[in-house]
């Protein structure tokens, strides 16, 4: 792919993620120089690619699932400039699992965190009555069957499989993403590609396995071409989400990425404004963090993601104590 196309795709992804400022951490200096027509020594600068901070081998390996070729999983295709290692906290080898990388980084002393501020409140803590057979479903299996034969919006027409969600039906920790990607559509399982493997490692970093949590998306069928969900699709699919949350009754919800957070919290606020607060969805605490695919693309977001996940873990621990 041409450098211009890479840069365009990079910028589009950053805008989609709610970024208003840009740090060019995905292109080498020489590559940017070439893009803006700056010549070095009177000749066009050769394009040199920096290595990604999170190597593909870091993401594969510890989990026996295949890598994905979906759009979210294509994000690491534009490599990122490695961060300079700190003298105080040497970075572990690049082949180390993600959890070890994060664990090493958070060993860096940091200022004590102020208590998380209260955030948005969506729905009543008493719950919401969902009419019809969705509201009448008494367990997740019944609900999954309804999702598989759902025609409430047109997405079922182009999707291969419904992706109802999976995990512990009594999980204290729930992860909510946006919508299935290509691998999820092909398998019927949520967070199945590279981003899913990274999510597994993030959960492991706070001592949670995928089997312990419940993972689902706001939309249960894949939007064609992985386009953004339409408001009417989110609205049509909302009763399933409300019912799933009510049946699992988690102690905390981790909203992954801008669209999941905005859909769940019914807001247009950027992820930057939503992070760091404890929101409420039908009475359940919601913590917002970056989507794992965004994390693959932007290593600088590892630390804030780690802080968000730790906050969610503390809420879970506090509720379970």
Does position 156 bind ligand SF4 by CB under 6 A? yes
CB 210 within 8 A of CB 167: yes
229's tokens: 């969900």
Report the residue number, 243 or 280, with the smaller CB distance to ligand SF4: 243
CB 302 within 8 A of CB 102: yes
Size, binding site for ligand SF4 by CB under 6 A: 13
Among 32, 35, 47, 236, binds ligand SF4 (CB under 6 A): 236
Is the torsion defined by CA of 142, 147, 152, 157 positive or negative? negative
Report the residue number, 219 or 242, with the smaller CB distance to ligand SF4: 219
Among 116, 147, 260, 274, binds ligand SF4 (CB under 6 A): 147
Task: Give me the 100-139 binding string for ligand SF4, x by CB under 6 A, dash otherwise.
Answer: ----------------------------------------
The minimum distance between CB 233 and ligand SF4, in angstroms, equals 6
Near ligand SF4 in 167-226, by CB under 6 A: 219-221
Does position 153 bind ligand SF4 by CB under 6 A? yes
Q: Running DSSP on this structure, what letter comes out for residue 123?
A: S
State the DSSP H helix or E strand holding residue 247, giving kind and residue range, or none if neither.
helix 231-248
- The piece of 193-201, 230-238, 253-261, 266-274 that touches ligand SF4 (CB under 6 A) is 230-238
The DSSP string of 27-71 is S-HHHHHHHTT-EETTEEPPP-PPPPSS-HHHHSSSS--PPP-ST
The minimum distance between CB 71 and ligand SF4, in angstroms, equals 18
Residues whose CB is less than 8 angstroms from the CB of residue 79 and which lie 6 or more positions away in sequence, other chains included: 26, 49, 50, 51, 52
The minimum distance between CB 153 and ligand SF4, in angstroms, equals 3
**Residue 95, burial from CB neighbour count under 10 angstroms (0-12, 13-18, 19+):** exposed
Does position 275 bind ligand SF4 by CB under 6 A? no
The minimum distance between CB 158 and ligand SF4, in angstroms, equals 10
The minimum distance between CB 144 and ligand SF4, in angstroms, equals 10
3, 94, 95, 1: which is closest to 48 by C-alpha?
A: 3
Residues that bind ligand SF4 (CB under 6 A): 147, 150, 152-153, 155-156, 219-221, 233, 236-237, 240
């Amino acid at each position: 792919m041409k450098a211009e196309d890479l840069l365009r795709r990079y910028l589009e992804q950053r805008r989609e993620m709610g970024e208003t400022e840009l740090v060019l951490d995905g292109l080498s200096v020489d590559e940017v120089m070439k893009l803006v027509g700056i010549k070095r020594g009177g000749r066009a600068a050769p394009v040199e690619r920096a290595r990604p901070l999170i190597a593909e081998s870091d993401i594969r390996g510890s989990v026996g699932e295949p890598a994905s070729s979906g759009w979210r999983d294509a994000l690491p295709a534009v490599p990122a400039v490695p961060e300079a290692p700190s003298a105080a906290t040497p970075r572990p080898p690049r082949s180390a699992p993600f959890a070890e990388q994060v664990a090493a980084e958070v060993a860096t002393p940091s200022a004590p965190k102020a208590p998380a501020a209260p955030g948005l409140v969506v729905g009543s803590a008493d719950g919401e009555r969902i009419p019809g057979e969705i509201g009448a479903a008494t367990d997740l299996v019944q609900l999954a069957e309804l999702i598989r034969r759902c025609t409430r919006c047109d997405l079922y027409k182009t999707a291969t499989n419904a992706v109802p969600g999976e995990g512990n039906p009594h999980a204290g920790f729930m992860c909510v993403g946006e919508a299935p990607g290509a691998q999820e559509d092909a398998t019927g399982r949520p967070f199945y590609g590279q981003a899913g493997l990274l999510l597994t490692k993030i959960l492991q970093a706070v001592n949670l396995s995928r089997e312990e949590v419940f993972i689902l998306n706001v939309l249960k069928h894949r939007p064609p071409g992985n386009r953004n969900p339409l408001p009417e699709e989110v609205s049509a699919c909302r009763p399933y989400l409300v019912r799933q949350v009510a049946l699992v009754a988690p102690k905390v919800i981790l909203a992954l990425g801008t669209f999941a957070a905005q859909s769940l919290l019914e807001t247009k606020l950027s992820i930057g404004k939503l992070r760091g607060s404890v929101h409420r969805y039908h009475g359940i605490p919601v913590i917002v963090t970056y989507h794992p695919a965004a994390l693959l693309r932007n290593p600088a977001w590892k630390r804030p993601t780690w802080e968000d996940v730790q906050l969610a873990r503390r809420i879970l621990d506090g509720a379970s104590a």
